[in-house]
Amino acid sequence: MEILWAPWRMEYVAVSNEKGECIFCPGNDRSRDEERLILYVGDRSIVLMNRYPYISGHLLVAPVRHVSALDALADDEKLDLITMVEKCVGILKGVMNPGGFNVGLNMGRIAGAGVEDHIHFHVVPRWSGDTNYMTVVGEVRVIPEHIRATYKKLLPLFHDL
């Protein structure tokens, strides 16, 4: 069996750990939201862009409260979290017109969570033909739009929430 590595993910986790902050914990300082690619912080949920996306528009949705499992969330937090995932799908549909989505929950190290102590959903827009051999053969991802350009497109729609 051949193993494919994704070492670029460790840089994302290591940078957050060096600063002593969880990427999903918004804190009270909103002045760093653009730097941190945070699109939305509500009472119960946070939405940010994945700094190392699988594809343009790859969003992360997490509870504001730092928890490592679904059963640690109150019912209102669970409802808010899935409602925010739904809103992200709607915003991405309107702005980027994808053909579909992959939505998945990362919970625990074995499940692939780079930040295992804070559950989070990945919301990944998908288009026909958006995967190719470049990642497998060349260890390169082809992201058609700069992450800051995508951020600027999406941010006004999250302000409306």
Domain count, the chain: 1
- Specify which residues 47 forms β-bridges with: 40, 61
31 pLDDT tier (thresholds 50, 70, 90): very high
Q: Give the per-residue pLDDT at 154.
A: 92
pLDDT of residue 136 exceeding 80, the answer is: no
Mean pLDDT, range 18-44, rounded to an integer: 88
* CATH number, residue 94: 3.30.428.10
User: CB atoms < 10 A from the CB of 95, how many?
Assistant: 15
Residue 67 resides in a domain: yes
Please, what is the average pLDDT of the chain? Answer: 82
User: CB atoms < 10 A from the CB of 17, how many?
Assistant: 12
Domain that holds residue 78: 33-159
Q: What is the CA radius of gyration of the chain?
A: 16
**By C-alpha distance, which of 67, 61, 119 is closest to 86?**
61
Residue 137 resides in a domain: yes
Q: Give the per-residue pLDDT at 65.
A: 94
Rounded to the nearest 10 degrees, how much is the dihedral formed by the CA atoms of 5, 140, 46, 72? -10
Residue 44 resides in a domain: yes
Q: Give the per-residue pLDDT at 134.
A: 47
Per-residue pLDDT reduced to its tens digit, 46-82: 999 998 888 889 999 999 999 989 999 999 999 999 9
Per-residue pLDDT reduced to its tens digit, 138-152: 455 566 678 888 889
Residue 102 resides in a domain: yes
Percent of the chain with pLDDT over 70: 75
HEC profile of the chain: CCCCCCCHHHHHHHHHHHCCCCCCCCCCCHHHHHHHCEEEECCCEEEEECCCCCCCCCEEEEECCCCCCHHHCCHHHHHHHHHHHHHHHHHHHHHHCCCEEEEEEECCHHHCCCCCCCCEEEEEEECCCCCCCHHHHHCCCCCCCCHHHHHHHHHHHHHCC
Residue 16 resides in a domain: no
Which residues carry out catalysis? 120
Per-residue pLDDT reduced to its tens digit, 81-114: 999 999 999 999 999 999 999 999 988 777 665 6
Residue 9 resides in a domain: no
Mean pLDDT, range 154-158, rounded to an integer: 91
Cα–Cα distances in angstroms (integers) from residue 32 to residues 23, 38, 102, 103, in the given order: 12, 8, 28, 27
Q: Give the per-residue pLDDT at 6.
A: 54
Per-residue pLDDT reduced to its tens digit, 3-24: 445 555 555 445 444 556 788 8
**Total residue count of the chain as it appears in this document:** 161
Residue 51 resides in a domain: yes
Residue 72 resides in a domain: yes
pLDDT of residue 128 exceeding 90, the answer is: no
Using CA atoms, how far apart are residues 119 and 68, in angstroms rounded to an integer?
5
